[in-house]
Amino acid sequence: MSQVAGLREEHFRELLERVQEFRDREITPFVIEWEQNRIFPVETLCSAHDLGLLGMEIDPALGGLGLSFGQKLKVLDLLSEISMPYAFSLVNTHNVAARLARHGTEELRDRFLPDLLAGRRLGSTALTEPGAGSDFSAITTLASPDADGWRLNGEKAWITNAAASNVIVAYVQTDHGARAQGIASFLIDGTSDGFERLEPYDLIGSHSIGTGGFRLNDYFAPQGDLLAVPGEGFAAALATINEARTYVASMCCAMVEVSLRSAVGYACQRESFGRPIIQHQGLSWQLAHVANQLEAARALTDQAVTAIEQGDSRSAILPAAHAKKFATEMAEPALTACAQAMGANGLKEEHLIGHRLTAARVANYVDGTTEIMTERIAKSLPATYHLTPAASKAS
C-alpha cells in the first residue's frame, strides 16, 4: 500500500478523542451482550463511518481520512482496549476499501467505494478454504474463462465479516496444479447470483468478528472485476500481510496494557494482611513480568511499524513476523496473570479479561499462525545470524 503522511498531530489527537467517545458510547455498553447472544454488530460497525473510520488510510480526495499506518494502529488500539473483535472486523472492511482506492479500476471504485466508506456495505478478504489455511497456494476455488469474464466455483472458510459482507476480495486458482503461479484475485459482489452465504461459525467467543464462509456456485465475474491477474494474486495477497500481522500485534499489546492497568489499580486499592496487595512480592513480581513482556512486544511492534512506513515491504517481513509471534504468545499468559492478580474478581465479565483472552486466542490464527511466524523467522536465520568465514575472521 502507498504511504501517506497522516494527519497533523493536533488534528489526530482530536480524532482520537472522538474515537474514544464513540467507543465508550457505542461499544463498551454492549460488548458482553454481543458475546452472550452471539451477535455480529453490523449496525455498530457501519456507524463507524460517521468518524471516517472505514476509510482511515484512504486519501481524502477519495473520501478517506488520510491517516498514516501508525496513526491507524493507534485508532485500532483504542477500540481493541474494549473489543479487539470489533476493531478487527472494522479494519477488514477498511482494507477492502483501501485496496479498491489504491488498486481498483475507476469503474470498481465508482461501484463499491462510496458504499464501503458510508457503511452501506461491509467488506471481506477471502483467502482461506476448508482445506487450505496456512498453505495459501493450495487453494482450490477455481476460476475458469467464460466469454467476457470468468466462472468461479468453490468454497471459502474462516472469513472475517462473512456473516454480512458483500464486497469481497477473493483469491482463487485459475490452473489446477499451478499453486502460486495460477492464483488470481477478483472483486466479488455478494448480492449477485452464484454467491451463497454460509451460516456463521459457532465459536467460543469473539462473535463480533462475524467469522463464516461462502460458496461460489458458477458465479460470473466480468473481466473488469479481475483485481490481480493469474500469477500475480499470490504476491498481491502477501503484499499487505506485513501490515495485518503488525496491527494484530499492536491490538494484543493494547489488550494487555489496559488489563495491566486494571490489575495494578485493583492491587493498589485491595488490602490483605494490613497492606495493599501490590506490596506483596509474589503479586508485584508477577505484574512486573507482564509489564516487561508488554514493553518488549511494543518495541518489536514499533520496529515493524517503522519498516512498513518506510515503504519497503520486503524489509518489513521479518519485523512483522517477530512482532506478531512475540505479541500473540505474550498476550494469553499476560492476561491470565492480570486476572489472577485480581483474585476471583478477575473472573467478572465487567472487567472484560475473559473477552480479551478469547480474542488473544484468535490472534494466534489470523494473518498467519504462530507456527508460520516461527517458520518465517527460522528461514531468516542463515541470512541474519550466520557469519561467513571472512566476517568471522574480521570479528
In the chain, where does the domain assigned CATH 2.40.110.10 lie?
A: 123-235
Output the pLDDT for position 15. 96
Residue 22 has pLDDT above 80, yes or no: yes
Lowest mean pLDDT among 37-51, 76-90, 136-150: 136-150
> Phi and psi at residue 176, in whole multiples of 5°?
-50, 130
Say whether pLDDT at 233 is over 90: no
Q: How confident is the model at residue 64 (pLDDT cuts 50, 70, 90)?
A: very high
255 falls in which pLDDT band (50, 70, 90)?
very high
For residues 8 and 152, the model is more confident at: 152
Mean pLDDT of the chain: 91
pLDDT band at 386 (very low <50, low <70, confident <90, very high): confident
Which strand (E) or helix (H) includes residue 91? helix 69-103
pLDDT bucket at 2, cuts 50 / 70 / 90: very low
Q: At what angle do helices 281-309 and 69-103 cross, to 10 degrees?
A: 40
Q: Which of 49-53, 292-296, 366-370 has the lowest mean pLDDT?
A: 366-370
What SS3 class is residue 168?
A: strand
Topology given in CATH for the domain delimited by 9-117? Butyryl-Coa Dehydrogenase, subunit A; domain 1 (1.10.540)
User: What pLDDT sits at residue 237?
Assistant: 82
* Better-predicted residue by pLDDT, 335 or 238: 335
Instruction: Report the pLDDT value the prediction gives residue 202, as an integer from 0 to 100.
Output: 87
> How far from 164 is each of 126, 208, 249, CA to CA, in Å?
13, 11, 26
Superfamily of structural domain 240-380: Butyryl-CoA Dehydrogenase, subunit A, domain 3 (1.20.140.10)
pLDDT in tens, 83-129: 999 999 999 999 999 999 988 899 999 999 999 999 999 999 999 98
Contact criterion met (CB below 8 Å) for 94 and 79: no
DSSP bridge partners of 276: 271
Mean pLDDT for 215-225 is: 95
Residues 271-283 as b/e (b if ≥16 CB within 10 A, e otherwise) read eeeeeebbeeeeb
Task: Give the right CATH number for 123-235 from 3.30.465.10, 2.40.110.10, 3.30.1330.30, 1.10.3720.10.
Answer: 2.40.110.10
How many Cα atoms are found within 13 Å in the side-chain-facing hemisphere of 10? 0
Domain with CATH 1.10.540.10 in the chain: 9-117
Q: Say if CB 88 and CB 159 are below 8 A apart.
A: no
Kindly tell me if the per-residue pLDDT of 393 is higher than 60.
no
pLDDT at 4: 57
At 212, the amino acid letter reads G
What's the predicted TM-score (pTM) here? 0.92
Most confident of 110-124, 127-141, 171-185, 310-324: 110-124
Range 62-77 average pLDDT: 95
CA distance 78 to 84: 9
DSSP class per residue in 202-224: --SS-GGG--EEEEEEEEEEEGG
**What's the CA gap between 46 and 10, in Å, rounded?**
26
Tens digit of pLDDT for each residue in 260-283? Answer: 999 999 999 988 898 998 899 999
How far is it, in rounded angstroms, from Cα 95 to Cα 244? 9
Distance of CA 361 to the CA centre of its chain: 13
CATH 1.20.140.10 in the chain, residue ranges: 240-380
Q: How confident is the model at residue 1 (pLDDT cuts 50, 70, 90)?
A: very low
DSSP 8-state secondary structure symbol assigned to residue 349: G
